[in-house]
Each structure stands twice: as C-alpha cells, then as structure tokens.
Structure 1
Amino acid sequence: MTFSSAIASFAVVAGMLTIMPGLDTALVLRSAITLGRRRAFATALGILCGVLVWGVAAAIGAAAVLKASHLLYDALRVAGAGYLAWLGIGMLRRTLKERGRSVSEDAAGGARATTAEATWARSWSRGLGTSLLNPKNGVFYMAMLPQFIPSGAPHLLMGVVLATVHDLEGLVWFSALIFGTQLVRRWLNRGSVQQVIDAITGSVLVGFGIKLALADK
C-alpha cells in the first residue's frame, strides 16, 4: 500500500463514519440552531480537535493500552457516560423550567439561557470533552490506523495525517449542516422550537450516556 492509496482508502472509511448520524452531529446541530453559526463552528472545532488527539494517541500506542486495559477502558467509559448524562440532563432541566412561562417570558428566558451558553470557549470545550471522553473513538482509531499505515512509514506522522483527513471531512460535513441550518434559523429560533430541540438533544445525550455506560468493551 502506497502513501497516497492509504490516505484515499482511509478517507472513504472515515467519510462514511462522518456522515452517520450520531452524537457529534446532534451537538453541532443543536449549537447551530440555538447558539448561532459561530458557536456551532466552535463546537465542531472542539470535536475535531478531539479526533486529532485520538489519532495521535493511537499512532503512538496510547490507544493500544486503552484497548488492552479493561480497567482504563471502563474508567473512561464511565466518565464519558457521566459527562453526556450531565449535558443532557442540563438541557432537559432548562426545557422544563421554560415550559410553564408565558410567550414573552419564554422568549426572554430563552435569550438568557442562550447568552449563558454563548461563549466560544465553552462551546469548544463541550465539543472537545465529548470527543475525548468517548472511548469508542480510541478503539476505532486503534482498529483502523494499523490497516492504513504503509510498511516503513512513520506511525506518528501517519496518525496525524489520517486524523487530519478525518478532520477535514468532518469540517466539510459540519459546515454543510451549519450553513443549511442558518437558512431556516428564523423559524428554529422561536422559543417553543428551541425547547423542543433542547428536549430532543438532551434525551439523545442521556441515551448515549446510558448506552455508553452499559456498553461492553
């Protein structure tokens, strides 16, 4: 396998993984709808930074240790499950608080909630934390990277290159989602719609957390 063929083959596999509906897509969509384009890109950038970290970790063998050690895997799995549940429950609680308010109070409350969340660093760290605390990312890279590293190629360099390819595909996909969402954001920005979005996204996050907590290695 040549360097170019390895990158092309990995790009196909990573591209299919990127467009599959999942937690990352849900987080970016929710940020685009409720917080706006800039915060959505911050969330996406955090996720992509986490992917790069996992790629480097797999290349230098850290993910191999994670895969081999059931204790380390379980510790990261529980931490990730707790983090996802915390994010999801926070969204559900905010939805319940807003439900009983009048239309005008609801709009003001939604604006306050959005303002409280609308910091670039917070959106970025939310995306990064979600990516890093998902052990499935580490297992994926540990399983995939060795198959796409040509004989004699430096592992660390290939890990960075392949993770970067994955990140570029993710950036294209997230950009399409974010710009597409902006076309209908005026309707999506209504307080009642945002409550539904938070309720759905919160439920998805809690569901992913429970699934992760109960998942076997």
Structure 2
Amino acid sequence: MDVPALLLAMPAFLGAVLLIAATPGPAVALVVRRAALRGSAAAVPTVLGLEAGLFVWALLAGAGVAAAVAASQAGFLVLRAVGAAVLLWLGGRALWRALRAGPVEEPGAAAGPVRRRWGGAFAEGLLVQLANPKLAVFMIAFYPQFVPAGSSPLVTAALLGLLQVTVETALYLGLAAGVGRAGSWFRRPRVRRGLDATSGAVLVGLGVRVAAASR
C-alpha cells in the first residue's frame, strides 16, 4: 500500500466526511429523536448501529459488491424498495406516536428490558444504513478516489471506513450529548408530539425520495 499517497489524501477525505456527516438525513434524524426522548446514553446503540452499517458498505465497496448492486437494475431496485420501506415504516411509526400522544418515557425507565432496547436501537440504525441505496452509490463513487495506485481496494476501503466511522461516531455522540442536555424540555408532551411529527415527516419524506430516486 502506498501509505504516503494515502496520507496526502486524508485532508480532502476528512473534509468530505465532515460535510457528509453534518448533512441532515435519516442518521441525524434517528440520533436526534432518540437522544431527545430517551437521553444521550440511549442514542449510543443507534449511533453504533449506523456506523456498523456504514463500515459494512465500505467493505462491500472495497470488494466490488456495492458496484455490482448499483450496476444491476434489479438489485438496485430491490435495495431502493427496501430502503424506502424502512424509512416509511420508521416515519409512520413516529407520526403514529405523535397522533396517539401516549405517555412520555423518562430515561432509565423500565430497567428490565434495557438490553432489548439497546439491541432494537442498534438494529434500527444498522437497518437504515444497510437499506440505503444512496449510500451504496456514494461509496462506489467516493472511496475509489482515495485508493492509491497499486493498493488493495478492500484494505484501503476498510481503513477509510474505520476513519469515517471514527469521525462520524464522535460527531453523532456529540450531537446526542447536546440534545440530551435539553432532554427534559424535549420530553414535555407538546414538544415531544412536535418532535415525533417533525422527525416522522422527515423520515417519510426521505422514504418517498428514495422510492422515487434514480441512480
């Protein structure tokens, strides 16, 4: 591997990663909503799930699988349909909670099923990333630009993926901590309903965009 060439490309890579991570999307919506309603600690598994999904796509991009999926009309159509369904389901669930206006759960409540809740939050984040067709297209267009000539695409993609995961994890956990500090305000019934309605509308809108988007 041409390490000096890879290091020279890092400033551009990190700048692009920061811009991508700061762009509002399903990941940001999930992290904000979970941190606002259940506290910053409850957003940790969501962030880990999102970043696990990102790293999987990085490996698939390095192995050429992501390119094959994006190039296959049927494969991309299936991925797009699954991605849209996941986002519409998450958005619809949030909108239903806003309409139902049930009781607000405080952070730390129901200590018994904590492991199950963490598992569900991790799986939610993972599923959102794995079912994101735009992420597959992004990976095959973005990562190859930073693979030095003569280097292994898989190894380089794994290293770049780890770097992106590290940066995004720090940013999302910082976002969760900031939102979590205002948790008591977010958990007021009227504010919580507004947050559910807003995040639900955002996720449904993103789902519609994914369903209608082309490559």
Is the structural similarity TM-score above 0.5? Answer: yes
Alignment of 1:61-140 (within 5 A): 61-98=64-101, 109-111=103-105, 119-140=117-138
Alignment of 1:40-79 (within 5 A): 40-79=43-82
1:14 corresponding residue in structure 2: 17
Q: Is the 8 A contact 1:7 1:162 kept in 2?
A: no
> What CA distance in whole angstroms lies between the structure 1 residues aligned with 2:160 and 2:124?
24
Q: For each residue in 1:41-72, what CA deviation from the matched residue of structure 2 results, as whole angstroms up to 9, or x when unmatched? A: 11011100011000000000001101210110
Structure 1 position 21, deviation (Å): 1.6
1:101 corresponding residue in structure 2: none
Alignment of 1:136-215 (within 5 A): 136-215=134-213
Q: Is the 8 A contact 2:46 2:125 kept in 1?
A: yes
Scaled by the length of structure 1, the TM-score of the pair is 0.90
Structure 1 position 199, deviation (Å): 0.7
> What CA distance in whole angstroms lies between the structure 1 residues aligned with 2:37 and 2:181?
14
Structure 1 consecutive aligned stretches of length 4 or more whose deviation exceeds 6 Å = none
Structure 1 unmatched runs, 5+: 99-105
Number of matched residues? 207
> What CA distance in whole angstroms lies between the structure 2 residues aligned with 1:17 and 1:126?
20
1:36 corresponding residue in structure 2: 39
Scaled by the length of structure 2, the TM-score of the pair is 0.91
> What CA distance in whole angstroms lies between the structure 2 residues aligned with 1:25 and 1:14?
14
- Matching residue's letter, 1:209: G
SS of residue matched to 1:9:
helix
